[in-house]
Amino acid sequence: MSLPQPSGARLLSLGTSLPDNVVTNDDLAERVDTTHDWIVDRTGIQERRIGGTTSGLATDASRQAIERSGIDPSTIDLLILATTSPDRRVPATASTVQENLGLSCGAMDLNAACSGFVYGLIAAHGFINLGHRRILVVGAETLSRITNWDDRSTCILFADGAGAAVIERTDGEGDLKGWHVASNGALEDTLFCEFDGKLIMSGGAIFKNAVLAMERSALHSLEMADLTPDDIDLVVPHQANVRIVEASCKRLGIPFEKTSMTIHRTGNTSSASVPLALDHALQENRISKDDNVLLVGFGAGMTSASAVLKWNGV
Ligand code: ACO
């Protein structure tokens, strides 16, 4: 069997899942020394969703994405689950999700922290180029399980959720016009979690580096796509802190109004945040055919990733 001809891919559908349990800033203020106003001013977060398992949230989001795509699930060739909070050390949580969905396909976890979904999307395009037809890309997290609920500098940020996308091989050029992935391992100690430990973070260092990493990654993808920031119709950024997004947009010269934001009600859901914000924009009818959509994330590692999609009208 010979290698197939290189091929493009298009995004067919999205699905999301958030836990029912809402934790407000006032709820947190009962446990740690903080206030609703401080959290909103410094992060933009008003509430977050907490609960469930990574596989459970990923399964629900995937079911919705498959349903919306109208495809036969048995035609899915690969499941890529981006997560930094797997249910077990072994096996990959992707295998649990595969079993839950009754799929017979390849399945693997991918850990690039909050850049994970964008890394997964780019990896899916690579697999499609090598001959796969349909791929399910999921970002799912239960960060609440690795959050220290007595540490006010981190517990106000992290939360749970999932988003999924069905990607399909296409005869034409496909949606992806530019992409970029990076990592700076020298900064690994700015955000880490030991086995059986809780997240430990240097917030200020991450803030500074995140703004630069998002700008750098976005510019790489734009250059590959032969576009400028002015050509971008919608930015779907990782939702870590509204001030990080504002600062990155300012450096890129893209108006903040062009971003899709969910952080006020979801908090930071790491790998899930980009698909959650992308789906939010779709539900709000903010994306039209042929729009240039910039996905951009950064996270522990410190990783960063971006992708420019020419929207195909789904
Ligand atoms: N409530 C009230 N006061 C607080 C809180 C809180 N929840 N947390 C910290 N403070 C205090 C600090 O103790 C400090 O007090 P001091 O001046 O007396 O020492 C003061 O507020 C200012 O603290 P800073 O850390 O300077 O506050 P800052 O404006 O930087 O905001 C924050 C902190 C929100 C954590 C910010 O640095 C941030 O968002 N950083 C990025 C974090 C991030 O994105 N992490 C995720 C990475 S992605 C991934 O992979 C998951």
Alpha-carbon distances, residue 117 vs 162, 237, 238 (angstroms): 10, 11, 10
From the alpha carbon of 240, which atom of ligand 1 is closest?
44
Query: Which residue minimizes the CA distance to atom 7 of ligand 1?
Result: 152
DSSP 185: G
- Ligand 1 center from residue 53 Cα (angstroms): 27
* pLDDT of res. 211: 97
Does the C-beta of 143 come closer than 6 Å to ligand 1? no
Residue 6: per-residue pLDDT: 72
pLDDT at 184 over 90: yes
Q: In angstroms, how far is the first alpha carbon of the chain from the final one? A: 33
CA dist 177 to 62, 218, 292, 293, 294, Å?
Answer: 25, 12, 9, 10, 10
249 beta partners: none
Burial letters for 10-30: b for 16+ Cβ neighbours within 10 Å, e otherwise? bbbbbbbbbbeeebebeebbe
Catalytic site residues? 114, 238, 268
pLDDT recorded at residue 313 = 74
Cβ of 240 closer than 6 Å to ligand 1, yes or no, is: yes
**Quick check: CB of 203 below 6 Å from ligand 1?**
yes
Q: Is 258 in the pocket of ligand 1 (CB under 6 A)?
A: no
Give me the helices (H) in the chain, please: 25-29, 36-43, 54-69, 93-101, 116-129, 152-155, 203-224, 242-252, 263-266, 273-283
Q: Is the CB of 242 under 6 A from ligand 1?
A: no
Ligand 1 pocket, residue 303 CB under 6 Å: no
SS3 state of residue 259: strand
pLDDT at 293: 98
Of 99, 138, 129, nearest to 4 (Cα)? 129
Q: Which of 42, 43, 48, 199 to mutate to test the pocket of ligand 1 (most atoms within 8 A of CB)?
A: 42
Give me the mean pLDDT over the 177-184 stretch: 98
Q: What pLDDT digit, counting tens, does each position of 130-164 carry?
A: 999 999 999 999 999 999 999 999 999 999 999 99
Pocket test for ligand 1, best of 35, 46, 207, 266 (most atoms within 8 A of CB): 207
Cα–Cα distance, 130 to 6 (Å, whole number): 7
Domains identified in the chain and CATH numbers: 8-170 (3.40.47.10), 176-310 (3.40.47.10)
Residues 179-206: what's their mean pLDDT?
Answer: 97
14 lines ligand 1 (CB under 6 A): no
Average pLDDT (199-217) is 97
Note the pLDDT of residue 1.
63
- Nearest Cα residue to 93 out of 159, 155, 157, 162: 162
Which pLDDT does position 171 carry in this prediction? 87
pLDDT at 314 > cutoff 90: no
Report the distance separating Cα 115 and Cα 300, nearest Å: 8
pLDDT tens per residue across span 96-116 = 999 999 999 999 999 999 999
Q: Indicate the SS3 state at residue 159.
A: coil
| pLDDT value of residue 109 | 98
| Whether the predicted model's global pTM rises above the 0.75 cut | yes
| Helix 116-129 / helix 273-283 crossing angle, nearest 10 deg | 80
Q: Report how far ligand 1's centroid is from the alpha carbon of 212 (Å).
A: 18
Dump pLDDT digits (tens) for 51-67.
Answer: 999 999 999 999 999 99
Give 3-45 pLDDT, tens digit per residue.
Answer: 777 789 999 999 999 999 999 999 999 999 999 999 999 999 9
Sequence length of the chain is 314
Provide mean pLDDT across the span 241-268. 98
In this structure, the strands spanning 303-310 and 176-183 are antiparallel
Q: What is the pLDDT of residues 264-311, one digit of tens each?
A: 999 999 999 999 999 999 999 999 999 999 999 999 999 999 999 999
